[in-house]
Chains A and B, each alone.
Chain A
Amino acid sequence: MPTVVQIENLRKEFGKVCALDGVSFRIEAGEWIAIMGPSGSGKTTLINILGGLDTPTSGAAIVDGVDVGRLDESGLTRFRAEKIGFVFQQFHLVPYLTALENVMLAQYFHSTTDEKEAQQALERVGLGDRIEHLPTQLSGGEQQRVAVARALINHPKLILADEPTGNLDEANEKIVLDLLRELHAEGRTILMVTHASSIGALADRRIDFSHGRLVTKVSPAGSAPAPGSKT
């Protein structure tokens, strides 16, 4: 399996605060990784750097052969459009665009729009009958499914999901996790931040963070390496 993400001694400082302190690990193509840890442990900072929303202070974050830290503003914009699919806890849909238009918006910034393809993406997440609805006319679970369709529409190399079920009830959580499971089965590479161990257990591997450091790397089978180790 080729490596999709390679992180080498990654460090990110916000003034005197060190959000990431020498983190290193790899993610192979098709893997589903769960990032876990308490608030302020550096999970979101890692996601932001891998998604090209932030740049590292030092070290390397290489996604699909691209060192994110070396990209300028324009390069980061193209990187986000072409390599990354985001799913946020707060859904982050544009409120005055319909479900279909929210998906097409990602197409528009990537290259050209294809309404039929966007419609198929929504049908795939079970929203074929909701394409003309505005976000306010959709439930939380439906909004998150629109976000998943939007994340998939440009066939990204890496799907970054930050607490994708954090705002959902149990029924909708199951729907979204089933979607992620399907995507994983199709061979998509997924990096998911979650607080819930039960959700983390669905991933191939679990990476725990504490105070900006990677503390454990646990496989679903439970073979836990020593705390504080770097891989």
Chain B
Amino acid sequence: MFWRLVFQLLRGSRARLTVAILALVSGAAVISGLLNLDFGVEYQLTQQFRTLGANIVIAPRAAPSLPESGPSNPALMNEAELSQVQANIPPRTPYSPFTYVVARAEGNPVVAVGAWLDQLQALNPTWKMEGNWVASRDDSAACLIGRNASRQLHLATGSALRVQYLNQTAECRVSGILDAGAADDNQVFMNLRALQSLAGLGGKVSLVQLSVNGGPAAAATAASQLTNALPEVEVRPIREVTDAEGHLLGRIRLLIVSMIVLILILTALCVLATMAALAMERRADVGLMKALGGSIGRIAGIFIAEVGVLGALGGIIGAALGAGLSYWMGLRVFEAAIPPRWEVFPITVLTMTVVAMAGALPLRALGAVKPASILRGE
């Protein structure tokens, strides 16, 4: 009988409750959308920031870590010292050792860079490539060349490139011409082993660049682990990137939380106004129920369940709509859909149920209804 009464109450007051359910659905949809966005924003933002390149650099102690200064840096690390890198970073983290020398190509001085060529695309997603990336780090016959260097050396994709260092010479075929919009455009990128062999620097690297996914916290954790694992070298998070990412993430989260709080208050106020009007309408029913021997506890239980059902219903519909909303917002803001998170669903439903019950406070006034007054028609 209890749920029968609740259902009939909902049906009997559907016109007035429509306003409340619309407020709850709207509130739930926006909150669900924002929560999905909040859960997804870190991943999306991290992806965006990863396009800026590496966020951790491992370099010899007291040596400048910027790639362009690499060739002039006399300090080099032993590759053997870096064997612990893989074990201390998340799986599938793009990283590569780099060795820099100033060599000559076609008679002109040029910065030759040895690297794991298969990692360059993942480390530098914004680089534009004319031709092909190099798919294998073992492919010593292929190389990449910067846009400016290719003009200077009159090389196109498929051209043979001869690189000289002192009295040594190495040859490779230009697989692609890269456009980084930075100093990399002046450089030649070769297979790491080939360059080390050319320069007589077997097993020596200038630095290692890593692009750790998972936000500033993940980068900081990886940097900390690497510092502990590699005490002989210097591990440096690139602060400009990680700090900017952290600040932006913090601000977006603050904005989302503020909006959620605001929407919850507005939704509760809307439900409150509806319930205040409903409480006036229900006085006669409550007076009669009391006259029939209904305790205030049992009567209140019916109304609380009614409001709870209303809140849960609003939460369920709104959460479903919110999943679509976050999907759309992801496409608009990050140009990538934000998939709905399952945990958002119960959070939204529970929140809306609590908000609906908070908004039902005016029904407390029904506890003071005197059945005799109601039955007299007062």
Interface string of B89-117 (1 = CB under 8 A from A): 00000000000000000000000000000
In this assembly, does B249 line the interface, its C-beta being within 8 Å of a C-beta of chain A?
A: no
Of the residues A53, A84, A94, A101, contact of B372 by C-beta under 8 Å: A53
Measured CB to CB, the residues of B under 8 A from A are 1-2, 4-5, 8-9, 11-13, 284-285, 288-296, 298, 370-372, 375-377
In this assembly, does A77 line the interface, its C-beta being within 8 Å of a C-beta of chain B?
A: yes
Can you report 25 A-B residue pairs in the complex whose CB atoms are below 8 A from each other? Answer: A44-B376, A48-B372, A53-B291, A53-B371, A77-B290, A78-B293, A80-B291, A80-B293, A84-B293, A90-B377, A92-B288, A94-B285, A96-B8, A96-B11, A97-B12, A101-B4, A101-B5, A101-B8, A104-B1, A105-B292, A106-B293, A107-B1, A108-B5, A109-B289, A110-B293
Which residues of chain B are within 8 angstroms of A80 by Cβ–Cβ distance?
290-293
Which residues of chain A are within 8 angstroms of B9 by Cβ–Cβ distance?
96
Which residues of chain A are within 8 angstroms of B298 by Cβ–Cβ distance?
108-109
Which residues of chain A are within 8 angstroms of B372 by Cβ–Cβ distance?
48, 53-54
Contact across chains for A106 and B377 when beta carbons are under 8 A apart: no
Which residues of chain B are within 8 angstroms of A90 by Cβ–Cβ distance?
375, 377
Contact across chains for B288 and A109 when beta carbons are under 8 A apart: no
Interface string of A131-142 (1 = CB under 8 A from B): 000000000000
A29 shortest CB reach to chain B, Å = 21
- A113 with B8: in contact, given A53-B375, A82-B293, A94-B288 (CB under 8 Å)? no
Max chain B C-beta neighbours (<10 A), residue from A51, A78, A96: A96
With CB as the reference atom, state the residue of chain B lying closest to A153.
B292
Contact across chains for A77 and B288 when beta carbons are under 8 A apart: no
With CB as the reference atom, state the residue of chain B lying closest to A45.
B372
Which 9 residue pairs of A and B lie closest in terms of their CB atoms, listed nearest first? A81-B293, A96-B12, A53-B372, A109-B294, A80-B293, A113-B1, A109-B293, A108-B1, A48-B372
A39 shortest CB reach to chain B, Å = 12
Which residues of chain A are within 8 angstroms of B375 by Cβ–Cβ distance?
48, 53, 88, 90, 92
- A51 with B291: in contact, given A97-B8, A101-B8 (CB under 8 Å)? yes
Which residues of chain B are within 8 angstroms of A97 by Cβ–Cβ distance?
5, 8, 12
Which residues of chain A are within 8 angstroms of B11 by Cβ–Cβ distance?
96
In this assembly, does A32 line the interface, its C-beta being within 8 Å of a C-beta of chain B?
A: no
Which residues of chain A are within 8 angstroms of B288 by Cβ–Cβ distance?
92, 94
Interface on chain B toward A: helix, strand, loop, or mixed SS?
helix
With CB as the reference atom, state the residue of chain B lying closest to A88.
B375
Of the residues B5, B13, B284, B376, contact of A105 by C-beta under 8 Å: B5
A107 to B288, CA, bound (A): 14
Which residues of chain A are within 8 angstroms of B293 by Cβ–Cβ distance?
77-82, 84, 106, 109-110
In this assembly, does A223 line the interface, its C-beta being within 8 Å of a C-beta of chain B?
A: no
A62 shortest CB reach to chain B, Å = 19
With A80-B291, A81-B293, A108-B298 given, can you name 15 additional A-B contacts, CB distance below 8 Å? A48-B375, A53-B370, A53-B371, A53-B375, A74-B295, A78-B293, A80-B293, A82-B293, A92-B284, A94-B289, A97-B8, A101-B1, A101-B5, A109-B295, A113-B1
A101 to B7, CA, bound (A): 12
Measured CB to CB, the residues of A under 8 A from B are 44, 48, 51, 53-54, 74, 77-82, 84, 86, 88, 90, 92, 94-97, 101, 104-110, 113, 150
A5 to B171, CA, bound (A): 118
Max chain B C-beta neighbours (<10 A), residue from A88, A109, A110, A150: A109
A23 shortest CB reach to chain B, Å = 18
With CB as the reference atom, state the residue of chain A lying closest to B371.
A53
Which residues of chain B are within 8 angstroms of A51 by Cβ–Cβ distance?
291
A17 to B290, CA, bound (A): 26
A19 shortest CB reach to chain B, Å = 12
B18 shortest CB reach to chain A, Å = 15
With CB as the reference atom, state the residue of chain B lying closest to A93.
B288
Which residues of chain A are within 8 angstroms of B295 by Cβ–Cβ distance?
74, 77, 109
Which residues of chain B are within 8 angstroms of A101 by Cβ–Cβ distance?
1, 4-5, 8
Which residues of chain B are within 8 angstroms of A48 by Cβ–Cβ distance?
372, 375
Contact across chains for B12 and A86 when beta carbons are under 8 A apart: no
B158 shortest CB reach to chain A, Å = 82
Which residues of chain B are within 8 angstroms of A54 by Cβ–Cβ distance?
372
Which residues of chain A are within 8 angstroms of B8 by Cβ–Cβ distance?
96-97, 101
Contact across chains for A106 and B371 when beta carbons are under 8 A apart: no
Contact across chains for A105 and B289 when beta carbons are under 8 A apart: yes
A85 shortest CB reach to chain B, Å = 9
A94 to B295, CA, bound (A): 17
A127 to B290, CA, bound (A): 25
